[in-house]
A and B are shown apart, each in its own frame.
Chain A
């Protein structure tokens, strides 16, 4: 018969809820009949709080643990606010996973540079898990992460444990440093300028606020990286996530269907235009 209706959510339940920072929470979710199909790093789900609404949220957990869905959410408005307030045991609606994620296959054999700003670390974390799980298949792995302040950093414990590993380099910068902060201060693109990497054999995965991504991409290009080696994750309003509501159009693409991760050279013309 016909394929199941992709507009119908499944019932999911909150298993665990952790606070990351003042406005950001990470939710572990279990969904009815979650197939072991898993998800690809960079993909997202549509999460519904019944009676309130539905929003796109990236998967932020380990793709190897397919039945446990993890989402990291900043409360900015009615739906995201309602999501982070759901207590363990409460049900929510879930559709997905949707979208084209990070180019994990293309990254094989190359140095991988992950550039994250703010909440942009959440959609990159599944890629990091994947890189670390198959560590020998990649060259140098380097994470450049910028947060507003130390208290805004996501996944702090995990970051600290990764910082102790020898097989991954982590550079963190903050916009505003309290006294006692000994790390970098400044925006992420400045980390790119100081990072040593072989631009000819690297791939860059960039995620963060649009303005941060623009500057990061500029810095990567100045460092000699080819446009076709830079990938970014984009955000647009979304109502269906299956290319039928029209809201997420970005030039010739649908962000939900053709993205959210795009190769920079394919979006370059449109990123340069205002209000496209």
Chain B
């Protein structure tokens, strides 16, 4: 059975019993990176670039945003120095792992001509395996959601699968809730529960920063076995637990989520859509930063002589006019209908289509919206108005 299926079938919240918790030091973390490299992984982790924390290839721990945190609000993101030297003392930035797993541009195929003979040659996905460092609980959920979309149906996506199947996940329990985070409301965090190979919780011990660590898979167990480590002490385990409950209590946002589908389906003609349409620039930022948004478009090209032709696929956004174009005009020509499409898809219709919400409460769409439109606030406005239509 492929890895993603094992992961998907593991109900969130259910852990292996008797998983040994160990404590590793910061140095051991460097050894982890080295080991993953040695095993042929391309190691990707958070790093500071252009005043934001992005995900990119990293060689050493020195490239992590150590001692940095982020200030996040609707339409606002700023890096600030921490008072300590925490390695993972920040929340999520504009990137998500979908950049690597569901790549922004993928070459699909090309046509090869040999005299009269014409054939179609599939472009194969890059032959590399990713190891992701510092994956958050909400992000593991987002990946599980994209798994359902891209692998769960009748026609699994071969490019996503190739990138996804061999990937190694080093998860981190969040020690800091972002100003726009609401994973607690979406039941997707802040504690990582499944879908990882190794999980870390950053704590402070006498010997400085350490990580209470667990393996979540056979592969994780093997990697962990080769690291300098010692069994976690009871007070370290308690400290790690406290980190998670502190984060859970500090969520920047909240959103009642148990009845969203019914609420939105009842309110598809609510006046609030007109209100948000006055503010929304239909720039599509929210869809680009969202870790679950999966929409794509294809583009065909050919050389001037018409001898070769190829097709590529790139991320697309439901906020563009082209997205819903059918001969004669766009189905969703107004900003009102496009914002409604995005939000109702995420929070309501995703459930019909994929049996799960399309939102994990990561807050990216709030932070990176140039005008600070806040999905939790828009839902609240509809909920509180009480004016629902049959």
Contact A244 B149 (CB under 8 A): yes
Q: Could you say which residues of chain B place their CB within 8 Å of the CB of A150?
A: none
Known: A6-B155, A242-B155, A254-B353. A247 touches B324 (CB 8 A): yes
Contact A50 B300 (CB under 8 A): yes
Q: Does A243 contact B (CB under 8 A)?
A: yes
Smallest beta-carbon distance B9→chain A, Å: 19
Q: Which of B118, B158, B352 contacts A5 (CB 8 A)?
A: B158
Q: Does B269 contact A (CB under 8 A)?
A: yes
Within 8 A of A (CB), among B58-92: none
Contact B296 A54 (CB under 8 A): no
Residue count of chain B within 8 Å CB distance of chain A: 49
Known: A48-B300, A246-B294. A274 touches B337 (CB 8 A): yes
Q: Could you say which residues of chain B place their CB within 8 Å of the CB of A274?
A: 337
Known: A236-B324, A244-B157. A51 touches B302 (CB 8 A): yes
Q: Does A11 contact B (CB under 8 A)?
A: yes
Known: A11-B118, A236-B324, A254-B353. A275 touches B154 (CB 8 A): no
Contact B120 A237 (CB under 8 A): no
Q: Which of B31-39, B195-203, B326-334 contacts its partner? A: B326-334
Contact B337 A275 (CB under 8 A): yes
Q: Could you say which residues of chain A place their CB within 8 Å of the CB of B309?
A: 50-51
Q: Does B388 contact A (CB under 8 A)?
A: no
Contact A245 B295 (CB under 8 A): yes
Q: Which of A11, A239, A244 contacts B119 (CB 8 A)?
A: A11
Contact B327 A76 (CB under 8 A): yes
Q: Could you say which residues of chain A place their CB within 8 Å of the CB of B386?
A: none
Contact B345 A249 (CB under 8 A): yes
Q: Does B268 contact A (CB under 8 A)?
A: yes
Known: A239-B297, A252-B352. A245 touches B302 (CB 8 A): no
- Docked Cα-Cα span, A252 to B309, in Å, equals 35
Smallest beta-carbon distance A117→chain B, Å: 15
Contact A251 B349 (CB under 8 A): yes
CB nearest to A241 among chain B residues:
B155
Q: Does A10 contact B (CB under 8 A)?
A: yes
Contact B326 A237 (CB under 8 A): yes
Q: Does A240 contact B (CB under 8 A)?
A: yes
Smallest beta-carbon distance B272→chain A, Å: 15
Q: Does A2 contact B (CB under 8 A)?
A: yes
Known: A50-B111, A237-B323, A237-B331. A5 touches B122 (CB 8 A): yes
CB nearest to B153 among chain A residues:
A243
The contact sample of 22 A-B pairs, CB cut-off 8 A, is A9-B109, A51-B306, A52-B300, A93-B111, A236-B331, A237-B324, A239-B316, A240-B296, A240-B298, A242-B155, A243-B353, A244-B157, A244-B296, A251-B349, A252-B349, A257-B153, A269-B268, A273-B269, A275-B331, A275-B336, A275-B337, A276-B337
Q: Could you say which residues of chain A place their CB within 8 Å of the CB of B296?
A: 239-240, 244-246
Q: Does B108 contact A (CB under 8 A)?
A: yes
Looking at chain B's contact residues, the main secondary structure is: mixed
Contact B158 A2 (CB under 8 A): yes
Q: Does B12 contact A (CB under 8 A)?
A: no
Smallest beta-carbon distance B311→chain A, Å: 8
- Docked Cα-Cα span, A150 to B288, in Å, equals 49
Smallest beta-carbon distance A87→chain B, Å: 14
CB nearest to B269 among chain A residues:
A273
Interface string of A187-226 (1 = CB under 8 A from B): 0000000000000000000000000000000000000000
Interface string of B147-169 (1 = CB under 8 A from A): 00110011111100100000000
Q: Could you say which residues of chain A place their CB within 8 Å of the CB of B155?
A: 3, 6, 242-244
Contact B301 A276 (CB under 8 A): no
CB nearest to B110 among chain A residues:
A50
Q: Could you say which residues of chain B place their CB within 8 Å of the CB of A6?
A: 155
Contact A8 B297 (CB under 8 A): no
Q: Does B318 contact A (CB under 8 A)?
A: yes
Q: Which of A7, A76, A77, A251 contacts B108 (CB 8 A)?
A: A7
Q: Which of A93, A236, A252, A269 contacts B353 (CB 8 A)?
A: A252
Known: A8-B120, A274-B337. A249 touches B297 (CB 8 A): no
- Docked Cα-Cα span, A54 to B108, in Å, equals 13
Interface string of A229-268 (1 = CB under 8 A from B): 0000001110110111111010111100100000000000
Contact B333 A275 (CB under 8 A): yes
Smallest beta-carbon distance A268→chain B, Å: 13
Q: Could you say which residues of chain B place their CB within 8 Å of the CB of A257?
A: 153
